[in-house]
Structure 1
């Protein structure tokens, strides 16, 4: 059974660094969550390092701007690792070819801006599906539309033998009180239809490798045993931490608030039933980051 705690300070002195999810933990897609911000500020004052590890398809600079818009102060974190940056690095190394078809929100063309960490990047071009060598999916074109609407396009893509690079493995997020589909839902559908999807965000190893590199860039070498991963997704944040053998703190009041009967804190029996159903074993659980 995951240990239910009431505040981060109960366990934070065991860890030198935090890998912290953003959406549902530090902000709700509309504004910052004050208690979470305060908890991270307090942790950093003790000398701990905070790496924001997000499945956002945006580059690090784009997430930094978004944090300002949401009201997350820069003294609550040290550095950022995004699924977008991890996926962009792979794209510019040619994992889905040079000519790619984009599935994403309006404005996601910024995903194709040059990146400095790849030696001799290929010249990626956005083309119609019938001309593509691969697909880049940053998210659904309409986050409210059922992913099944993509079936005809995905059938053609599968017949062409195209790989799909998924820039955000999240299935859903809650923007305030509204639940939206993410790129992971489309990649999941494509895989179920027999296509091949490539993932670079949580729970997959590439983003954790990037997070460790970001941590090392801060001038600290922290062993995995001294890192705590924090997030509200058992299939992403907690599964990723378990796969990396990193301790984890599950935020039950995010995506699983209803299942865990979380208002302030989770109802223990509901939490136990939910974690058993999802075959998940976070080290600790808290209703909301505070």
Structure 2
């Protein structure tokens, strides 16, 4: 009987050690230990303080693939992790500006843009990347979670008026290889529902009644010339804290995606990533391909500049 008890205890210890040694377990933090974020600086006299919200659903249809038409166009499975999509229902590796405009969309306004990000998975349930070679070969296992809400919002600039976004603009925010590089491009913002002023780069342990959230902020300054660049970043820039854009760039409506999830307290979760990134939370990122009409883009810029709160229709 003593032997059985020892074996049982050893088994529990082994399971606990295995769980605690997973790559993502070292990057979890209690929300109570996350400091409150400082308030935004006061806006200037010419600030554009409006907002423009799109209703594009929350990927209820389960549009998933391991493609990335921005960074790996034409390469099927080039992302090596699964993406969630809202907006354009046809987005995949072979998509083009022309194919996006011809496709349907989940956005009630008719916005055919592509909005996408790596999926979040619940780790206490089975599931694997069915798109990966061999199934789960990229190390992204667990049940894919459908967000309980996805907020697509374009914001103004606290320093001055914005110009309209160019049609077919491509953008990326965050760094999908942040675990093996420096933090220069990291934009991961994790929190828990009901606590928007507590932001962390780790996976938050949320209190009862609250689930994890992800906020993905895109750059809000454009060089006025190009809709893409070789590294998919150089044509865009982030403004300073006071909203001032770098030299030779212009403020544009700034895209913010806010994703919320419903998870019981204590349930482990992790974001999909490249295999060598080991699902590190600071690799969170998102992408955008603008397929709105010129009329929609002009209406958005006007709404933001006039300080109104608009909802696309």
User: Taking structure 2 as the reference length, what is the TM-score of the superposition?
Assistant: 0.24
> Which protein has the bigger helix share?
1
> Which protein has the bigger strand share?
2
Q: If you compute each CA radius of gyration, which structure gives the higher value, 1 or 2? A: 2
Greater relative CO, 1 or 2 (CA 8 Å, sep 6+): 2
User: Taking structure 1 as the reference length, what is the TM-score of the superposition?
Assistant: 0.25
